[in-house]
Amino acid sequence: MTVTPMMAQFLEIKQAHPGSLLFYRMGDFYEMFFEDAVAAAEALDIALTKRGKHDGDDIPMCGVPVHSAEGYLLTLIRKGFRVAVCEQLENPAEAKKRGNKSVVKRGVVRLVTPGTLTEDSLLNARQHNYLAAFAQVRDASALAWLDMSTGAFRVMPLDQMRLGPELARLAPSELIVMDASEAKLSEFVSDFGISMTPLSRASFDSTGGEKRLCELFAVQTLDAFGSFDRAQISAMGAIVEYLNITQKGKLPLVRTPQQEDQLGQVQIDAATRRNLELTHALSGGRAGSLLATIDKTLTAGGARLLERRLASPSRNVRIVQDRLDSVSFFLENSLSDGLTERLRHVPDLDRALSRLSLDRGGPRDLTAIRDGLIQAASIAKDGLGPDAPHGVADALNRMGGMEDLINLLDDALVAEPPLLARDGGFIATGYDPDLDEARTLRDEGRSVIAAMQQDFANITGITSLKIKHNNVLGYFIETTATHAERMLSPPLSETFIHRQTTANQVRFTTVELSEMETKILNAGNRAIETEKRLYKMLSETVLAKAAEIFQTATALAELDVSCALARLARAEDWCRPRVDDSRAFDIVGGRHPVVEKSLRDGSGEPFIANDCNLTAEDGSNIWLLTGPNMAGKSTFLRQNALIALLAQMGSYVPATSARIGVISQLFSRVGAADDLARGRSTFMVEMVETAAILNQADDRALVILDEIGRGTATYDGLSIAWATLEHLHDANKSRALFATHYHELTALAGKLDHVDNATVAVKEFDGEVVFLHEVQKGAADRSYGVQVAQLAGLPPSVIARARTVLEALEKGEREGGATQKALIDDLPLFSMQAAPPALKQAQSPLLEIIGALHPDEMTPKQALEALYKLKEAAKT
């Protein structure tokens, strides 16, 4: 069946991009047809219409306005779609030159995918958006990643078994893999919600990748950037190839690749990141995470740097000390107040520069560059005193030397330009004489039109006569049908030429008006074209200084992070940790930063600080922590892990004092969750995570374990917990916190040299438990589970029965007798009978007196008398 030329063009372009929704530009709309329209209408909740027929069936159709397309793109990307943006490559007038039925040329100018976004409206300004690639060449493998919106480009050698932890650290939006290995790698990717994109084997060819990288950076060899193996070149080359595919040859600014040392940072697996809620809370959002609690940065670049440091704490003592020196300097130096105020006005230089390089920017990106460089120059000029530490001084040295570019942009641009270059009005008056001349003619032409309107009104005697403008007729004279008869009749008809009649109006023109329209339109178009030319010139000038601008942006981010951490330390009363190469771990008065903030913002209750000393001069050092549920064991475990991470990222820590010997790995097995998609029960997930710890932890690791073995039978669980603790002590030799309800394990403290018992203190009053949240040396005698169940609101009959069963079980255990059958025969387990009278607690005389009091109705004298009665009752 024949199709229209326009539909034939759509089908041809769609065939070349089968995996993407095709945004087909038609005037002011992006239209979608066939199955694309059906899928997009459902995803975007927009109307599905139809246009013509194809093979006898209606063609489904939907569309979105071009001016608001970004919001729809974001929705589609978040729902897993990819979008091919097809633009008109010529205007309709040019198409008509080839024939009246010629179709406007169109072509895909960009593939929009999760890892290739650059627009502010599609990105989180305070978070990186990484595009990653994993490559394997023979026995070697590597991971490369690029933030296209900032140009940051990194690579590292990586064993495939470490792919999961690294993906958890980087959280890329999209991962490129070789199509042959897609199925094998899907297991590593499925847990992280990452979009996986297969590319051909040719895209991962290391020889072709090296050539693409050399072309990108305009060099003959990559030796100047470092020594890369074939796997690393393959991964980086695949990213460049993918950029060519998605950007249709229009490559963004990419910084020279940097190699990351896998051993230079603390190794943290995915489960630990999730359990500790480093950058995201268990609920999925950022609120409630450690990052949200400590982030006081003022710039987008600073926020992204803070997240990178938290996700990748350093194992290099010198780097950690340099960062702590910078924080200490700003904490003690009043000059930082002026720096803070300047940082508030620093825009996102990285992303503005990236948009300009892709020709997706506008005048506001140029002013962002200008404003950021002005603030940087001001900071560098004022300096921060002769005592600034190395890190601060180095950052200041990287922020100067661009006065010529600043002056150029300051002279050329207005203070607050429009969003788009085509709107004009962003070049300052006085910068370009030709532009000023065109603007003058354009603006005076408007006043001439107003004068002509008045003249025509006087000539015709029609005071309501107006001169208007639209894109079809241009300028025209409009009057009502009632007055039009006069203008259509001599002698006025010799001057006023009829153009159009509508339902209520009649439109005219004159030779004089047509001539003036030509002059005005030429002046307006000339002004717009001049501004576009100047915009291109300014953009090219800025891009020529891209390396220096990137350097300035990095320096500003470093200062912002140091200042932010200093403000955090001052506000929260945090201390500077001592980080060294020893195996010390001595926290005095440690606190959980997230829980402390939550308490302060909620109930206002103070957080109970606790000490923790896992210093291990030889062998391991393990605290075996017992105590009831809800007493704070998990909080204590997590807070010490977070303090270690904060220290090694270069931050002050929530403690009175802290000494931490560098930890190489952090492992956490806290909480319970299943993995039904893989057929794993809660207990199986627990065992898999425990196995990973025991197989990987070294003598520099910090391990926190909570309730190992609780998901199976009591003796099975006890046996597993017992063996795990012994393995940590004898084989891994790690520093560890081991929380458990198996009180039998406390006997190991007397058998293993480096195991100490600790417990969370509680008090019992009238059968109820009071949590003190204090960690003390020693072992708990029981878990107070029934009391906690009572606090949770279990029915009184259940609590009473639980006490009976517990007492009988404990008695049977002491006497070595079998009690199970007697318990079952005595009372059905799920009986809803009331509690036996013998188990009901007698009412205290004090409680009877207090219960009879009505404070709102008492006089001060009556209240004093009641107090004396209570005192007397207490004696009895």
pLDDT value for 837: 46
CA-to-CA distance for 71 and 119, rounded, in angstroms? 11
Q: How confident is the model at residue 228 (pLDDT cuts 50, 70, 90)?
A: very high
- Kindly state the average pLDDT of the residues 823-843: 47
**Predicted confidence band of residue 278 (pLDDT cuts 50, 70, 90):** very high
pLDDT digits (tens, 9 = 90+) for 611-641: 999 998 777 799 999 987 777 889 999 999 9
Distance CA 614, CA 755 (A): 10
For the stretch 282-293, pLDDT in tens is: 887 889 999 999
Q: Which pLDDT belongs to residue 742? A: 85
| Residue 141, φ and ψ in degrees, nearest 5 | -145, 160
For 236-245, the pLDDT digits (tens) are 999 999 999 9
Of the candidates 401, 395, 406, the one whose C-alpha atom is nearest the C-alpha of residue 367 is 406
* pLDDT higher at 717 or 680: 717
pLDDT for the residue 302: 97
- Give residue 838's pLDDT: 44
Query: Which of 282, 316, 260 has the alpha carbon at shortest distance from 144?
Result: 260
The response to whether 627 counts as a known ligand-binding position is: yes
H or E stretch covering 169: helix 163-170
Average pLDDT, the chain: 88
Nearest to 112 by CA among 190, 191, 195, 39: 195
Instruction: Give 848-862 as a DSSP string.
Output: HHHHH--GGG--HHH
pLDDT at 688: 84
pLDDT of residue 825: 52
Residue 731 to residue 746: CA distance in whole angstroms: 20
Q: What is the mean pLDDT of residues 834-848?
A: 55
For residue 767, CA distances in Å to 735, 782, 841, 849 come to: 37, 14, 9, 20
Residue 628 annotated as binding? yes
3-state DSSP percent of the chain in helix, strand and coil, to 5: 50, 20, 30
Q: What is the pLDDT of residues 502-520, one digit of tens each?
A: 878 999 999 999 888 888 8
> How many angstroms separate the CA atoms of 514 and 519, rounded?
9
Q: What is the predicted pLDDT for the residue at 237?
A: 96
What is the pLDDT at residue 846? 72
667 Ramachandran zone, left/alpha/beta (phi>0; psi -120 to 50): beta
pLDDT-based confidence at 221, cuts 50/70/90? Answer: very high
Asked if the model's pLDDT at residue 677 lies above 50, the reply is no
Contact by Cβ (8 Å): 36, 14? yes
Residues 6+ apart with CB under 8 A from 634: 670, 671, 706, 739
pLDDT attached to residue 671:
66
Q: Which residue has the higher pLDDT, 687 or 521?
A: 687
Q: How far apart are CA 444 and CA 435, in angstroms?
A: 14
Distance CA 164, CA 688 (A): 14
| Burial label, 127 (beta-carbon count in 10 A; 0-12, 13-18, 19+) | middle
Q: What is the CATH number of domain 299-402+554-572?
A: 1.10.1420.10
Strands 657-661 and 755-765: unpaired
For residue 147, list its beta bridge partners: 130, 152
pLDDT of residue 833: 46
The token pair at 83 is: 């979008």
Six-digit token string for 822: 């007697």
pLDDT of residue 676: 46
Percent of the chain with pLDDT over 70: 93
Is it true that the peptide bond before 114 is cis, omega within 30 degrees of 0? no
- 629: annotated binding-site residue? yes
The predicted pLDDT at position 265 comes to 94
Q: Report the 3 state secondary structure along 416-437.
A: CCCCCHHHCCCECCCCCHHHHH
Q: Which strand (E) or helix (H) includes residue 531?
A: helix 511-544
CATH class belonging to 120-260: alpha beta
* pLDDT at 534 (0 to 100): 96
The pLDDT value given to residue 673: 55
Mean pLDDT lowest for which of 107-116, 475-484, 770-779? 770-779
pLDDT tens digits, residue range 191-212? 778 889 999 999 999 999 999 9
| Res 831: pLDDT | 45
Q: Which of 538, 531, 468, 534 is nearest to 505 (CA)?
A: 468
pLDDT band at residue 830 under the 50/70/90 scheme = very low
Residue 829 clears pLDDT 70, i.e. is over it: no
Query: Is 433-536 the same fold as 120-260?
Result: no
- Ligand-binding annotation for 633, yes or no, is yes
CATH architecture, range 5-112: 3-Layer(aba) Sandwich (3.40)
Please state the domain extents for the chain. 5-112, 120-260, 299-402+554-572, 433-536, 578-788, 794-839, 845-875
| Sequence-distant contacts of 198-202: CB under 8 A, at least 24 apart | 199/238, 199/241, 199/242
Q: What would the pLDDT profile of 578-618 be if each residue is shown by its tens digit?
A: 999 999 999 999 999 999 999 998 878 899 999 999 998 77
Tokens of 542: 């800025």
Fold of 578-788: Rossmann fold (3.40.50)
The whole-number average pLDDT for the span 694-718 is 87
CA angle 476, 480, 483 (to 5 degrees): 105
Please report the pLDDT score of residue 766 as a whole number.
Answer: 65
pLDDT at 437: 84
pLDDT reported for residue 387:
84
**Residue with the larger pLDDT of the pair 778 and 329:** 329
List, in sequence order, every residue forming a beta bridge with 112; answer none if it has no partner.
83
Percent of the chain whose predicted confidence (pLDDT) is above 90: 55
For position 2, what pLDDT does the model report? 65
Q: Decide yes or no: CATH 1.10.1420.10 for domain 433-536.
A: yes
Q: Is the pLDDT of residue 546 over 90?
A: yes
Q: Identify the pLDDT of residue 814.
A: 60
Given pLDDT bands bounded at 50, 70 and 90, which one contains residue 523?
confident
